[in-house]
């Protein structure tokens, strides 16, 4: 490998308001090489790839393709330079045929008319090269996800891309299709394509990568040949940060009494879920983006209910098929997407805090009376220390921390005794974070319980009394309070499934 790398990125910097997503990152990839990028959620992998694909412009740094400096202002320019990005979400047209999809935007024509013959033949040839015999005339919407991915890769091949970027290509694939895809990547490598492979599935990375780069918090930690990069070393590098100790103290007495449990829960995204929540504890749920941890939250609060399995609430069997039933049974939901699912941004703080009370109140209950009185909810908001000029102010004008507190107030007013938090402190400053952790702890100490789902591991470890880790829709293991991040990451990467038995028993 004496010649210049097919792709070289040097000193890439990209800042978004409030965060430096990439801080002087160097990266290169040679022709005929698979270079894997590993990192936690938010480490900067996707930003780096978006810069490479021309969707973002870097604030500083340069990109070189075969030693020629490049500047991309539009995805089209990146493609023209031979870079093809295969995104997690496929960009296919479900109603059109395979051939039409592959030739999207580059349709061959003869005398102004489409040359369908040529499209069909070249598509068949490309698909044959990928080892499939999908009919070029078949509608893409009728294909499996794995076949659709092959169509997406065929698009890249048609372009004769020199650099193919795959952003978590196996996220939606089963085991067999994953193996097939890995074989395909090997074939591409043989053909001299430079492949940037983003994944946090360690077995795949170890199976396919020639070199591994670890990103963390927007910085490159190291790049090593695969042979000298051990899984444990990669995981440590991905995690390596200090625990901050602004987390509240754990309860003095061991929680015993069961509040809520799921047995053998199952739906499209969840399999064999057994979950027990006890009074007085905060149960953390960890897992990767596609692990089903969000699906678990949606199942508990009845948004996307379980299809199979039984739920028990305070010893009584319950089925929760809608959010309304969940609220009626005293469950509150504090969503990750505060602005989308949590708040009515243009309405007042007070209205937002009263939302569930009003929702559950009888149709003709009088406003501003009894439980719905402004004075009552104002007291609640004050005791929660929601900082607003006036509780009549639109909640959208508040800071993230105060918005989150407003939602918590809503459930306190509702007298919920179980809360489901998803990403409780996303986009919230440090001081407000500590206040929210404090509130969470006070909430459970009063004989209630919380399930918290978070991709922020230090937070999850700091606040949870127990952590269950999910992997591919299943609970991969359970860890006690104070476990290391490495242990959580290992479980969430699907490693150490063997330890599972020990942990559960």
Partner 1 sequence: MSIEARPQAVRFGRPFRFSFAFVLFLISVAIYVCTAVVTGEVNQLSLAGLSGLFQRMVALGLVGLGQTFVILVGSIDLSVAALISVVAVLASFIMHGEPAMIAPAIVACLLVCLVAGCVNGMLVGFGRINPLIATLGTGLVMQGVLSTAFSFMPGSVAPRFEAFAYSSLFGIPYPVCLLVILAIGASRVLSSTPFGARIYSVGGNPEGARMAGIRTERVVLGAHLIASLFAGVAGLFLAARLQSGTPWVGRDGIYDLESIAVTVIGGTILAGGNGGVAGTMAGVLLFASLDASFNMLGVDAFVKQVLRGAIVIAAVAVHAVGNKEHVA
Residues that bind partner 1 (CB under 8 A): 75-76, 79-80, 91-96, 100, 103-107, 109, 112-114, 116, 120-121, 124-125, 128, 133, 135-137, 141, 155
Q: Give dist(CA 310, CA 318) in Å, integer.
A: 7
The helix (H) or strand (E) run that includes residue 70 is: strand 68-70
Q: Which is nearer to partner 1, 96 or 325 (CB)?
A: 96
Q: Which is nearer to partner 1, 94 or 392 (CB)?
A: 94
Q: Which is nearer to partner 1, 162 or 213 (CB)?
A: 162
185: left (phi over 0), alpha (psi -120 to 50) or beta: alpha
452 burial (CB, 10 Å; 0-12 / 13-18 / 19+) is buried
Q: Which is nearer to partner 1, 121 or 232 (CB)?
A: 121
CB of 61 vs partner 1, minimal distance in Å:
23
CB of 164 vs partner 1, minimal distance in Å:
14
Q: 52-67 b/e with 16+ CB inside 10 Å = b?
A: bbbbbebeebebbbbe
Each as own residue / partner, the long-range contacts of residues 120-129 (CB below 8 Å, 24 or more positions apart, any chain) are 122/158, 123/98, 123/99, 123/154, 126/102, 126/154, 126/157, 126/158, 127/98, 127/154, 129/157
Mention every residue, 6+ apart, whose C-beta is less than 8 A from residue 368: 374
CB of 205 vs partner 1, minimal distance in Å:
26
CB of 104 vs partner 1, minimal distance in Å:
5
Mention every residue, 6+ apart, whose C-beta is less than 8 A from residue 151: 92, 98, 101, 102, 134, 140, 143
CB of 321 vs partner 1, minimal distance in Å:
20
CB of 378 vs partner 1, minimal distance in Å:
39
Q: Give dist(CA 4, CA 63) in Å, integer.
A: 13
Q: Which is nearer to partner 1, 109 or 264 (CB)?
A: 109
Q: Which is nearer to partner 1, 112 or 340 (CB)?
A: 112
Q: Which is nearer to partner 1, 155 or 189 (CB)?
A: 155
Q: Which is nearer to partner 1, 105 or 340 (CB)?
A: 105
Nearest CA to 94 out of 136, 141, 132, 58 is that of 141
Q: 282-287 and 466-471: which strand pairing?
A: parallel
Q: Which is nearer to partner 1, 69 or 108 (CB)?
A: 108
Q: Give dist(CA 87, CA 164) in Å, integer.
A: 11
CB of 105 vs partner 1, minimal distance in Å:
4
Q: Which is nearer to partner 1, 60 or 76 (CB)?
A: 76
Cα 382 to Cα 344, 378, 385, 391, 402, distances in angstroms: 20, 6, 5, 10, 11
CB of 70 vs partner 1, minimal distance in Å:
16
* DSSP state string for 226-249: GGG--HHHHHHHHH--PPP--SPP
Q: Give dist(CA 452, CA 467) in Å, integer.
A: 9
CB of 74 vs partner 1, minimal distance in Å:
8
CB of 41 vs partner 1, minimal distance in Å:
22
CB of 196 vs partner 1, minimal distance in Å:
17
Q: Give dist(CA 293, CA 475) in Å, integer.
A: 9
Cα 306 to Cα 265, 268, 488, distances in angstroms: 6, 8, 25
Q: Which is nearer to partner 1, 80 or 431 (CB)?
A: 80
CB of 187 vs partner 1, minimal distance in Å:
18
Q: Which is nearer to partner 1, 90 or 328 (CB)?
A: 90
CB of 160 vs partner 1, minimal distance in Å:
14
Q: Which is nearer to partner 1, 83 or 451 (CB)?
A: 83
Nearest CA to 491 out of 462, 475, 463, 469 is that of 469
Beta bridge partners of 262: 275, 311
Cα 150 to Cα 99, 182, 352, distances in angstroms: 12, 12, 46
3-state SS assignment for residue 128: helix
Nearest CA to 386 out of 352, 426, 356, 336 is that of 352
For the CA atoms of the chain, what is the radius of gyration? 25
């Amino acid at each position: 490998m004496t010649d210049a790398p097919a792709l070289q990125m040097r000193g890439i910097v990209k800042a978004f308001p409030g965060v430096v997503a990439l801080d002087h990152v160097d990266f290169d990839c040679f022709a005929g090489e698979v270079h894997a990028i590993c990192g936690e959620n938010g480490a900067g992998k996707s930003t780096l790839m978006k810069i490479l694909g021309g969707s973002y412009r870097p604030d500083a740094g340069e990109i070189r393709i075969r030693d020629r400096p490049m500047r991309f202002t539009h995805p089209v320019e990146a493609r023209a330079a031979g870079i093809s990005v295969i995104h997690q979400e496929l960009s296919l047209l479900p109603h059109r045929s395979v051939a039409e999809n592959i030739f999207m935007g580059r349709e061959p024509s003869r005398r102004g008319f489409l040359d369908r013959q040529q499209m069909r033949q070249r598509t068949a040839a490309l698909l044959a090269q990928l080892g499939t015999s999908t009919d070029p005339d078949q509608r893409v919407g009728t294909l499996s996800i794995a076949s659709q991915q092959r169509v997406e890769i065929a698009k890249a091949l048609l372009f004769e891309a020199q650099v193919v970027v795959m952003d978590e290509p196996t996220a939606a694939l089963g085991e067999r299709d994953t193996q097939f895809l890995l074989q395909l990547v090997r074939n591409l490598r043989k053909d001299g394509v430079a492949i940037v492979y983003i994944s946090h599935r360690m077995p795949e990375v170890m199976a396919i990568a020639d070199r591994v780069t670890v990103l963390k918090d927007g910085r490159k930690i190291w790049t090593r040949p695969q042979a000298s990069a051990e899984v444990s070393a990669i995981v440590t590098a991905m995690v390596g940060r200090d625990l901050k100790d602004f987390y509240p103290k754990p309860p003095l007495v061991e929680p015993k009494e069961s509040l809520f449990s799921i047995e053998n829960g199952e739906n499209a995204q969840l399999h064999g879920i057994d979950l027990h929540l006890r009074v007085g504890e905060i149960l953390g749920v960890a897992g990767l983006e596609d692990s089903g941890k969000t699906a678990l939250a949606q199942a508990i609060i009845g948004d996307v209910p379980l299809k199979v399995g039984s739920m028990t609430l305070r010893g009584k069997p319950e089925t929760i098929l809608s959010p309304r039933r969940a609220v009626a049974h005293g469950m509150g939901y504090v969503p990750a997407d505060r602005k989308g699912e949590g708040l009515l941004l243009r309405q007042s703080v007070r209205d937002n805090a009263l939302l569930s009370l009003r929702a559950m109140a009888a149709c003709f209950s009088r406003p501003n009376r009894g439980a719905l009185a402004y004075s009552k909810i104002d007291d609640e908001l004050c005791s929660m220390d929601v900082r607003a000029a006036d509780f009549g102010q639109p909640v959208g004008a508040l800071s993230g921390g105060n918005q989150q507190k407003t939602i918590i107030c809503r459930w306190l007013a509702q007298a919920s005794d179980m809360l489901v938090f998803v990403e409780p402190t996303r986009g919230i400053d440090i001081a407000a974070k500590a206040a929210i952790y404090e509130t969470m702890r006070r909430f459970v100490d009063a004989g209630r319980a919380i399930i918290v789902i978070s991709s922020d591991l230090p937070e999850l470890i700091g606040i949870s009394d127990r952590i269950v880790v999910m992997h591919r829709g299943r609970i991969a293991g359970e860890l006690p309070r104070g476990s290391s991040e490495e242990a959580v990451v290992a479980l969430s990467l699907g490693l150490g499934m063997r330890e599972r038995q020990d942990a559960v028993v």
